[in-house]
Structure formats: C-alpha cells, structure tokens
Structure 1
C-alpha cells in the first residue's frame, strides 16, 4: 500500500518520518509513504490517479481547500471546519474503482497538543492568521470550551470564512485587525498559524505587550524556533506536537490500526535533531 504527503513547498515535511515509523511499529511491511511536491495545478491529475494501491494522502498548503471538489465525499466535520488535510482511499469493489473521502485531523492535532500542555479547557483564546490552519485552530478552541475566540487577521473584511465556521459549530468569533494584535495576547491560549517568514511581525507585537505571556502554540515546526517562539516570555508548544497528533489520526484513518504514538514521536524528534546538526 502507498500513501504520501503533498504540498508546495514540501521538502521540509516531517510526515514521512512519522508515518514510516508507524508502519514499521505496526508491522505493515510493504507499505510506503512518500513526499510529493504538488501544487494546485498538479493536484487534479494526482487525485485522478489514485487507485486501490493507495491508502491515502496527507495534504498541506496550498491544497487544503483545492482538493474539496476533487473527492467523492467530504466528512461532515471537515466540511464544517472548511479545511481538509487528509484523503482516505477505500476500494469500492472488484473493478469498481475507489472512493475518496476528505477528512480534517488538524483540529485533533491542535486539541491534543494543547491538552498535553495542560490546556484541556480554554476560557479565552486567540488565533493569529486567517487561512485553513487558522480555521482548524478556531474550531479547536471552540471544542476546548472557549466561548468566543479572537481571530487576528491582516484583512478583517476577508474574515467571512472564519465567521461562517464558528457559526456552523454554534459559536462566535471576534475578528480583529492586525493593529489589535497586542491586545489579543491577553488570552489564556494564543495559536499562531502564520508562516515562519511572517513570525517576526507577530513577535514585534510583544514589544507593546511585555510578558509574562500565556501559552503559545506556534504551528510552525521547521525552521524552529521561530522568531515568535524565541521572544515569547511564557510556555511554548511547537508545531511538532500538532503534526504528531494529526499524523497519528491520519495513520488510524488510513490503516485501521491504533497509531503507535511513542514510536512516531521518537522518529520525529530524531529527524528534527538530525536536521539541527546537519
């Protein structure tokens, strides 16, 4: 069986280390997990080529919405979140092709990463960014009991999708512009979903909001630490923990086996150490 992580760019991804470690621990000999550089233009051809020899795809940017019209089914939860990071391939039967179901495991990854840091229930939370991962972070905060998360975005007028996601799940979101970022850092939990290159902009807001700061989950794991993580005067959870838990959920969806979390964590951390020493 075959699976792969797809995105553009994709060379930085640690997903192969995690999934391959899971296959080895589960005794799934003959299973392989590849890394495929795929942009929005190449995605339709890849999806159309999936057959019974495939278990599924892991998707990262910029494919989390582009894949939606290409699959047979989007789970109710993924549709509510408005973002997909997993495609599960299921054979229909002899000669009948395959069924492609889109799922979201990012929310699980964020919830689990926050829970490991002690944030099982969140009274107030803020999400920095407005993309697909920000929507998953918003849902994760709502699931953790946050009644009205704050979303800080560069263009509040384009935050309609965040509002729609919250409404579909029976919640609300307080959308604020970038200039209001310092005040959002008063939340109990802050989730930064901005790329590594934009992390410095968020870190600059700390000047106007001196520490100590609450819990930060920075979804970036490469390069690590980000400028924001380095300057944060408080507890920090890196994106590796989110990646680990969302990857474990993908392993379970694609293989039908319980994910070997300890082995996956060990392999991922080893890969990060190897990168740091290279």
Structure 2
C-alpha cells in the first residue's frame, strides 16, 4: 500500500463523543507519514450498524468498534478471526480490498491490550491466581488474556449469577474454567491473588476502597475504566502496596495493535502514548 493512498478509518459506538481513539490513531498516522489517512468517530446504534457496514468500500482501511456493537458486528463481517470468535466479541474490523467488494474481517485487539498492559504493569508475564470483576465483553477478553498469562481458573465476580451464560460459554471455548461468585464477595476475595482485572464501568469498583485501604496487597490491579485516570480503587490498591495499571494502558496497547493491523506497519507506541497523555492531561 502506498503512503499516498488515501484511506479512511473510524471508531463506531453509541454514544461515541468520549472516545480517545481518534487522538491515538491520528497521532499514529502522523508518525507513520500517512498524511492522507483520516480517522473519525461515528455515532451508530445497533439498528444503524448493518446499513453502515454494507456501505463500506475499499477506501476504508478499518474500524474500531466499541460497545454496544462488539457482538452485533460479528454477524455482519465476512470472516471472524479465531481469537475474536472464541472471545465472542469483535473490536476491530479490517477492510481488505480485492474483488467486486472488499472483504471484512473481524478481529479482537482487547486481549492484546490487556496482556500488554499487565506485563507493562509488573505482572512478570505469568499469573497463577486471578480475579475478574464484571461479566461483559471486556470480561471475556480478560479471561482470554489471563489464560495467555497462565491462569485457567480465575474467579469472576458478577452482579447477577443468573446472567453469566454468555461469559461461561466464551470461557468454555477458551478452555478456561472460571468460578463465578457474587460481586459483594470480591471485597475479600481479591486481596491475595496475583492479578485483578476490573471491567466494571467508571466508579463501579469504588465499593472496594474501604476493604483495600489499610490492608497489604501484593498483586497487580488493572481497572479498565480510565475516567478518572486513576480510579479510587486503583489509588487505594497502590496505597496498600500493590501494583496498579490504569485503564488507559489497555486502551493504548489495543490501539497500537489496531494500527498495525490496519496499516501493515508497527504501531508507533511512543507517539500514541504521548497523544494519550496530552488527551488525559
């Protein structure tokens, strides 16, 4: 692909105004010399998604897909890569030219983002015990990431034990055997594990602060939420002696992998990290 070939990419979701993806991808294009490439944010509901996907042509390089569209888009692409199929969520659509219409490939870079963020945060690349908070698409990616790090029997803390079917099915496809427990039990259950990944919405894990404060922890905590940049539970965890990985690191590393897949060039981590820091202040 020529550097001068104009290509388009976008992040899709609803609502999408908060997304930092445009800042990250545009910084990458500038660093890679892809001056003619464009990256935008497009607000789409699940009902609007099929028509948008059907209208893609070979001027597009790819799409970043956020909630609530990560499952809905799976049935709209031509191929789903094995990891995305196992996880049950697509956060990246690659638009590949050739033929009368482009071929759309669904991929998942969230797993890469979680693994890279945890390794960066001092996990050592392995984990024998782990806990996940939440049961959505990011929790599924977290299970795949933990399996890659060596933990196949994590404990998953959820608000409703009756709504874990999709996550349990995804775990089965991964060869992971989670134990599901009520979210209220996380207050004591996360204190002595190697890795903790919270996939709850911003502030969703703040109820753990009183339990963590004043205790001694040694594991690594990744809070996938990044608003605020350091969550209350992250601050408490660091204060208790643990290692904390802020959610922005997962966002950064999954975006770096998206850039690689869409452009065919290594994602420029340093330039994208600087853009993220500027965006978050």
Give the corresponding residue for 1:106: 110
CA distance in 1, matches of 2:223, 2:203: 13
Question: What are the equivalent positions in structure 2 for 1:27-106 lying under 5 Å apart?
Answer: 27-93=33-99, 96-106=100-110
TM-score (norm 1): 0.92
Deviation at 1:204, TM superposition (A): 5.3
- The CA deviation string for residues 98-132 of structure 1, in whole angstroms up to 9 with x for no partner, is 11110000000000001111211011111100000
Alignment partner of 1:168: what SS? helix
Distance in 2 of aligned mates of 1:256 and 1:140: 24
The 5 Å alignment of 1:168-179 reads 168-179=173-184
Q: How many residues align?
A: 270
Where structure 1 has 5 or more consecutive residues not aligned to the other structure, the ranges are 274-278
Q: Distance in 1 between matches of 2:52 and 2:226?
A: 27
Matches within 5 A, 1:100-249: 100-119=104-123, 120-185=125-190, 186-203=192-209, 206=212, 210-212=215-217, 214-232=219-237, 233=240, 234-249=242-257
- The 2-side partners of 1:228 and 1:67 are apart by 33
RMSD value over aligned CA atoms? 1.6
Mapped contact 1:81–1:135 kept (Cα < 8 A): yes
Q: 1:199-244: CA deviations, max 9, x gaps?
A: 333445547x933352110111223222322332322111111111
Kindly state the Cα deviation for residue 178 of structure 1 after the two structures are TM-superposed: 1.6
Q: Distance in 2 between matches of 1:202 and 1:71?
A: 40
Q: CA deviation at 1:69?
A: 1.1
For residue 254 of structure 1, report the CA deviation from its aligned partner: 0.7
**Structure 1 runs of 4+ with >6 Å offset:** none
How far apart are 1:198 and its partner, in Å? 2.1
Which residue number in structure 2 is paired with residue 266 of structure 1?
Answer: 274
Residues of 2 paired with 1:44 and 1:201: CA distance?
A: 39
Whole-Å Cα distance in 1 between the matches of residues 171 and 268 of structure 2?
33
Contact 1:152–1:176 under 8 Å retained in 2: yes
The gaps in structure 2 that reach 5 residues or longer are: 1-6
